[in-house]
Amino acid sequence: MEIQAIDGGFAREVSGVELWRELPDPVLEALRDAWTRHGVLVFRRQALSEEEYAAFGRKFGELDVTVRPDWGSKHRPDVIHISNMRNGKGESIGGLGAGELDWHTDQSYVANPSTGSMLYMVEMPPAGGRTWWANLQLAWEALSEAAKRRIEPLHVVYDYLLRQSTYDDEAPMSEELRHRTPPVSHPLVNVHPVTGQKALYLDPVTAAGIEGWPADESRDLIAEVRAHATQPAFVYAHEWQIGDVVMWDNGFLMHRREEFDPSALRWLKRTTLYLPPDRHIVPPSRPV
C-alpha cells in the first residue's frame, strides 16, 4: 500500500489496496493514522457491495443512520444514496438532486455529530459534479494573530432548516424531521486531539449566526471566514471516476459540490461514521 499527496496538497491518494478484502491490522492502522492527519483519503478503482462498503467503514467507527431515512438503501439503512436518478415509478432513489451544494460540513446541525463521511461513486455524468474540500486547519494557521484572538472564543449556531432549504427536489420539512433536528451550537475553533493543531469548524450553509452576536455582524463574520477558508491554497477539487471511494473528516474540512447536467445520471453511496474523539476533532455542543 502507498499513500501519496495529490498534486502536492493536503489530500492523500491510497493505492495498492482492495477495500472489499479483509485488511490486515497494520494496514488499517496506517489508514486510520493517515485519515487522522490528512483529512481526505482517495481510493481509486474499487468495486464494493453495500455489505463490503459498510464493513470497511466500521473499521474506523460506528456507522450512523442519518436523519434522512428517505435516502437510505433498501438493503442497509446505514448506506444512503446521493443521486438525481429515479426508479421505474418515477420516484427519486436518493437525495440532493443535481444542483450546486455550497460549502458546508456534514452533520453540523447535530449535537453529537458523526464526523466521518465516505462517498463511493457508482454512476457519474461526463462533466461537472466535482467535489471540493477546504482544509480548515490550514485556514486557521494562515489567519493573523489578531483574527485568531477575535474568533477563537466564538460559538456558531446551526439549524438544519436552513440547510434543507438549499436542497433541490425536496418537500417542505416534516414535523418529524423538525423535531429530530433542533438548532445546536458548536465552537468555531477546536484543537486536534492527536496533532494538537487548532482548526476552524464551520458550515456556512447551515449557520444561523454567532451566539450572542447581532444578525448582521454574524453574517459578515461567517462570510469573511468562509471567504478566507476557501482560498485555492487550502482547497482540493476531486475529479471523480467510477469506483472512487473518498473519505473525509468533517471535524476540520468543509466541502462543496459543483452542479451537473440534471439530465445526466449521477449516483453515489454514502456512509457516515462516528469517529472516535481521541483521534479526530468531534466538536462539542451546547444547547441553544
Smallest gap, in angstroms, from Cβ of residue 103 to Fe ion? 10
Question: What separation in angstroms does the CA of 255 have from each of 2, 248, 250, 278?
Answer: 25, 9, 9, 23
HSE, side-chain direction, 13 A CA sphere, residue 102: 15
**Does residue 106 bind Fe ion (CB under 5 A)?**
yes
| Chain Cα centroid distance, residue 268 | 14
Write out the three cell numbers for 108. Answer: 453540523
Smallest gap, in angstroms, from Cβ of residue 91 to Fe ion? 22
Smallest gap, in angstroms, from Cβ of residue 4 to Fe ion? 25
Smallest gap, in angstroms, from Cβ of residue 232 to Fe ion? 20
CA distance 196 to 168: 39
Smallest gap, in angstroms, from Cβ of residue 238 to Fe ion? 13
Write out the three cell numbers for 53. Answer: 462498503
Which residue type is seen at 128?
A: G
Output the residue with the shortest Cβ distance to Fe ion.
Answer: 106
Smallest gap, in angstroms, from Cβ of residue 255 to Fe ion? 6
Q: Which residue from 240, 242, 246, 253 is spatially nearest to 283, judged by alpha carbons?
A: 253
Q: Per-residue x/- mask for Fe ion, residues 61 to 100, rule CB under 5 A? A: ----------------------------------------
CA distance 33 to 150: 32
Q: Which is nearer to Fe ion, 106 or 249 (CB)?
A: 106
Smallest gap, in angstroms, from Cβ of residue 144 to Fe ion? 30
Contact 192, 37 (CB under 8 A): no
Q: Which is nearer to Fe ion, 128 or 193 (CB)?
A: 128
With contacts defined by CB under 5 A, name the span among 15-23, 55-63, 102-110, 201-209 that binds Fe ion: 102-110
With contacts defined by CB under 5 A, name the span among 3-11, 105-113, 186-194, 202-210 that binds Fe ion: 105-113
| Chain Cα centroid distance, residue 273 | 11
Contact 94, 81 (CB under 8 A): yes
**Does residue 203 bind Fe ion (CB under 5 A)?**
no
Q: Which is nearer to Fe ion, 101 or 222 (CB)?
A: 101
Q: Which is nearer to Fe ion, 205 or 208 (CB)?
A: 205
CA distance 155 to 222: 11
With contacts defined by CB under 5 A, name the span among 44-52, 106-114, 119-127, 260-268 that binds Fe ion: 106-114
Q: Which is nearer to Fe ion, 166 or 197 (CB)?
A: 166
CA distance 269 to 171: 22
Write out the three cell numbers for 277. Answer: 474523539
Q: Which is nearer to Fe ion, 122 or 143 (CB)?
A: 122
With contacts defined by CB under 5 A, name the span among 41-49, 104-112, 118-126, 186-194 that binds Fe ion: 104-112
Residue numbers at the binding site for Fe ion (CB under 5 A): 106
